[in-house]
Amino acid sequence: MKLAQVLFSQGFGSRRECEGLIIGGFVSIAGARADDPFEEFDPEGLQFNVRGESWPFRTQALIVLNKPAGHECSQKPKHHPSVYSLLSAPLRRRDVQAVGRLDEDTTGLLLLTDDGKLIHRWTSPKHHVPKVYEIGCKHPVTDEQVQQLLHGVTLIDDPVPVRAAAAESTGLFNGPQAAELGELHGLRMTLTEGKYHQVKRMVAAVGNRVEALHRSRYGALALPADLAPGQWRWITPTDVVA
Check which CATH number belongs to the domain holding 67 and give it: 3.30.70.580
10: containing domain: 3-56
Q: How many domains does the chain have?
A: 3
pLDDT for 21 = 95
Instruction: Transcribe 60-94 into DSSP letters.
Output: S-EEEEEEPSS-BSSSS-SSS-BGGGGS-HHHHHT
- SS3 state of residue 201: helix
What's the predicted TM-score (pTM) here? 0.91
Residue 103 among the catalytic residues: yes
Write down the catalytic residue from 35, 36, 103, 239. 103
199 and 227 belong to one structural domain: no
Compute the distance between CA of residue 105 and CA of residue 111 in angstroms, rounded to an integer: 17
At 162 the pLDDT is 93
In sequence order, which ranges of the chain are alpha helices (DSSP H)?
3-9, 15-23, 89-93, 116-123, 143-151, 178-181, 198-205, 237-240
Q: What is the pLDDT of residue 7?
A: 97
- Boundary of a domain, candidates 34, 56, 78: 56
Distance, CA of 166 to CA of 208 (rounded, Å): 17
Specify whether 164 is located in the same domain as 225: no
CATH code assigned at 156? 3.30.70.1560
CATH of the domain at 33: 3.10.290.10
- Whether residue 145 is found in the same domain as residue 66: no
pLDDT along the chain (242 residues), means of 10: 95 95 94 92 93 92 96 85 94 93 94 93 86 97 97 87 95 86 94 89 96 96 96 94 72
The pLDDT assigned to 88 comes to: 93
Residues 47, 165, single domain; the answer is: no
Residue 67 shares a structural domain with residue 112: yes
Note the pLDDT of residue 242. 61
CA distance 224 to 229: 11
Residue 124 has a pLDDT of 83
